[in-house]
Structure 1
Amino acid sequence: MRRLWGRLNSVNVQKAVWGLEELGLAYERVEAGGAFGRVREPAYLALNPNGLVPVLEEDGYVLWESNAILRYLARGHGAGALWPEGARARGHVDQWLDWQAGTFTPAMRDVFWQTVRTAPAAQDAAIIARSVAEAEACAAILEAHLRGRAYAVGEDFTAADIALGCAAHRWLHLDVARVERPALRDWYARISARPAARGALPPLS
């Protein structure tokens, strides 16, 4: 039995859901985190002592951290597809997974929380402006990399596109002014049209 714990409005849960759907793996998703609670309950903390989502359970095996889950799924079920052949291609997939988690998503965290999850009267324009500037620097890096490319790594869709795609979904749907990035837009349109993406990328909330 395979179970994924986490709410779908979490960008980290979206990565795991997209990976599972892309690979056609059967799973049950259990709402947890945010308004659904559960993550501070002893039973959940026994799965993930951080009290965060997502958590993957698979026949007694427990794994947390969204990109670790994505790597596990890709390596175990998507070798040659989500997880390309060749050490150098895999190194580039890892590079973009780490950049998404450590750079791009943190850069936009404050603007997301301020504009999506904070009441308008309580929003801080300075915090929003700083976060937008940091996210724009990341978007410029991604734009330059994607120019002339169909996918993030090599000629095929990989786990890197899933992680980056979930972050781009958040960035491109924030209610802020952004620099137009045509390569980023074209790549996002291409990957978000995949059937597996449709159920993994809900409106921001």
Structure 2
Amino acid sequence: MSNVPMLKLHTVAGSPNGRKVEAVIAHLGLKVEILRHDFGDLASPAFKAINPNGMVPVLAVEGYRLTESNAIMQYLAEMAGDERLYPRDARGRAEVARWQAWELVHFNRAFGALAFEIVAKPLLKLGPADPVAVAEAQVGLARFAPVLEAHMKDRSFLLGDNLTIADYSVATFESYRTITPFDWSPFPAVNAYLDRVHATEVWRRVSAKPEPVAV
């Protein structure tokens, strides 16, 4: 890894999207400077000069800044040349892209909304949970959890036997299963899969316990 340039990651403690990027950094054994901002800093002019979206994570490397967690994960794995974590063949790349898009738009959009309403709002003193938002998130999870259940019935990880960046993406909120109001019991394959990711040394290192959900 001597040819890998110095990396800086801007994140916030408790950011699930920051956590999955940190998992990839740890998996690859990259040297990185972690810059942890306060949640309130994200709207400041100083931070918006780093990312106009006012969100984390942001990767900075040799004057280049990259936003959006899944893009950062792809960039890091490509830069490090890890073909197991991020396959080089066209079908493997397409599968990674498919599951990262699916988690972002469907599965974790619902799961993240539920975690935000139930966990983040009380901890960040943002007011009570919105029952309409909670109900909508539960409906979303009820729709998309069966998709993952069917896919994982005969697989260890999303693409087969080895873990990829897609797994770190889909498992982003796995530690919130027991503290959010959704019945996971009808989904044994999903639970076994998320437990499998949780048990990896890398994920345990970056995801010791649920924290306030930031961004």
TM-score normalised per structure 2: 0.86
Evaluate the alpha carbon distance shift between residue 150 and residue 109 of structure 1 in structure 2; reply closer, same or farther with a 3 A threshold.
closer
Residue in 1 that maps onto 2:160: 154
The equivalent position to 1:5 in structure 2, one of 6, 10, 30, is 10
Residue in 2 that maps onto 1:56: 59
Letter in 1 for 2:200: R
State how far apart, in whole Å, the 1-side matches of 2:81 and 2:183 are: 34
Letter in 2 for 1:26: K
The equivalent position to 2:135 in structure 1, one of 129, 133, 144, is 129
1:196 equivalent in alignment to 2:196:
no
Residue 97 of structure 1: how far off its partner (Å): 0.6
**Cα contact 2:114–2:180 (8 A) shared by 1:** no
State how far apart, in whole Å, the 2-side matches of 1:182 and 1:43 are: 46
Evaluate the alpha carbon distance shift between residue 135 and residue 179 of structure 1 in structure 2; reply closer, same or farther with a 3 A threshold.
same
**Cα contact 1:104–1:167 (8 A) shared by 2:** no
Letter in 2 for 1:204: E
**Cα contact 2:23–2:202 (8 A) shared by 1:** yes
1:158-190 residue CA offsets vs partner (Å, 9 max, x unmatched): 1111101113334x2433141311111111121
State how far apart, in whole Å, the 2-side matches of 1:141 and 1:111 are: 19
Structure 2, unaligned stretches of length 5 or more? 1-5
State how far apart, in whole Å, the 1-side matches of 2:51 and 2:10 are: 10
Q: How many residues align?
A: 202
State how far apart, in whole Å, the 1-side matches of 2:139 and 2:205 are: 30
1:97-116 residue CA offsets vs partner (Å, 9 max, x unmatched): 11111111222333222211
Evaluate the alpha carbon distance shift between residue 78 and residue 195 of structure 1 in structure 2; reply closer, same or farther with a 3 A threshold.
farther
State how far apart, in whole Å, the 2-side matches of 1:173 and 1:157 are: 23
State how far apart, in whole Å, the 2-side matches of 1:117 and 1:38 are: 17
1:165 equivalent in alignment to 2:168:
no
1:20 equivalent in alignment to 2:25:
yes
Between the aligned residues of both structures, percent identity stands at 31
State how far apart, in whole Å, the 1-side matches of 2:157 and 2:27 are: 15
Residue in 2 that maps onto 1:67: 70
Residue in 2 that maps onto 1:175: 180
Residue in 2 that maps onto 1:138: 144
Q: Look up the SS of the partner of 2:60 in the other structure.
A: strand
1:35-82 residue CA offsets vs partner (Å, 9 max, x unmatched): xx3323333222211111000111222111111101101112143121
The equivalent position to 1:111 in structure 2, one of 110, 114, 117, is 114
Evaluate the alpha carbon distance shift between residue 135 and residue 24 of structure 1 in structure 2; reply closer, same or farther with a 3 A threshold.
same
TM-score normalised per structure 1: 0.89
RMSD over aligned CA atoms reads 2.0
Q: List structure 1 runs of 4+ shifted beyond 6 angstroms.
A: none
State how far apart, in whole Å, the 1-side matches of 2:182 and 2:204 are: 25
